[in-house]
Structure 1
Amino acid sequence: MPGYAGLRARLENDLLGRIAPGTFQFVPVQTRIDRPSKPTLMLKLSSVARHPGAQSVLAPTFVLTVISEKTDPGQADEHLDELLDILLAPIQAIRWVAFRGADKVAFQTKYTAYDIELEALTAIKKPTQEA
């Protein structure tokens, strides 16, 4: 699986392999969710930029959204603090991505969430020419 789809799949596998199975519902694309039944993770590629220090290196940025299923704002805040604790150690263990920060956001206006920004590095792929 080449390109950014391959990077996304690698990030998904590396992250989920470090978290206890069943802890989160994982949604591999940005989409609407009717009602999360448990803590939910959603992964998206949000941007790609040229790395400032190397001409042929790209820095794709992924956003991992962690959503609390709790609708009470106080409970959701506490729950998200716990969820960040669960996620940050496994994220730090993935050596090919860098944690850039986490911003509190509203998901579908009803659920409290964090957008966790992760940056990866990859070489610029030159297109192959067919004869």
Structure 2
Amino acid sequence: MAGYAEVRARLENDLLSKIEPGAFQFVPVQTRIDRPSKPTLMLKLATVSRHPGAQSVLMPSFILTVISEKTDPGQADQHCDELLDILLAPIQKLRWVAFRGAEKVAFQTKFTAYDIQLEALTAIKKEA
């Protein structure tokens, strides 16, 4: 059975292999950004929950944050909608990942972004 780090790495690799190379800056951890120079993706493990049908199986959920580099609020809002459209097709090609929703947020209170909720359909067994 894979661990959380392995599932996260698989999600990162699978997603990045399905989007245009160089289209996004990928930051593998949640961190501060002074000013993104292009659209930026950040991935974090958000929650771990028990599988409803199996007591010893855990299901990790992730947040993929996509951040617009635009500073004008109107441009950034429209740009984020376009970035979400760009990402949803490759996300849906990942058969082992379920798209659960997307919420528009303010990243570091100054950049427009979406938090995309993803759930790994690959379960992780708890150690006995």
TM-score range, shorter chain: over 0.9
Which position in structure 2 is the counterpart of 1:15? Answer: 15
* Ranges in structure 1 where 5+ consecutive residues have no aligned partner: none
Q: How many residues align?
A: 126
Distance 2:126 2:56 in 1: 9
State the Cα RMSD in Å: 1.1
Percent identity between the two aligned chains: 80
Contact conserved, 2:57 with 2:126, CA < 8 A, in 1?
Answer: no
Detail structure 1 runs of 4+ shifted over 6 Å in the superposition: none
Q: Which amino acid aligns with 1:123?
A: I
1:4-43 superposed matches below 5 A: 4-43=4-43
Rg larger in structure? 1
Higher relative contact order (CA 8 A, sep 6+): 2
SS at match of 1:14: helix
Deviations 1:53-83 (A, max 9, x none): 2222211110000000001111011101110
Which position in structure 1 is the counterpart of 2:101? Answer: 101
1:52 is displaced (CA, Å) by: 1.3
SS at match of 1:101: strand
Contact conserved, 2:40 with 2:68, CA < 8 A, in 1?
Answer: yes
1:126 is displaced (CA, Å) by: 1.9
Which position in structure 2 is the counterpart of 1:63? Answer: 63
Distance 1:126 1:103 in 2: 34
Q: TM-score, normalised by structure 1?
A: 0.92
Q: TM-score, normalised by structure 2?
A: 0.94
SS at match of 2:91: helix
Deviations 1:72-104 (A, max 9, x none): 111011101110111000000001110000000
Distance 2:75 2:118 in 1: 26
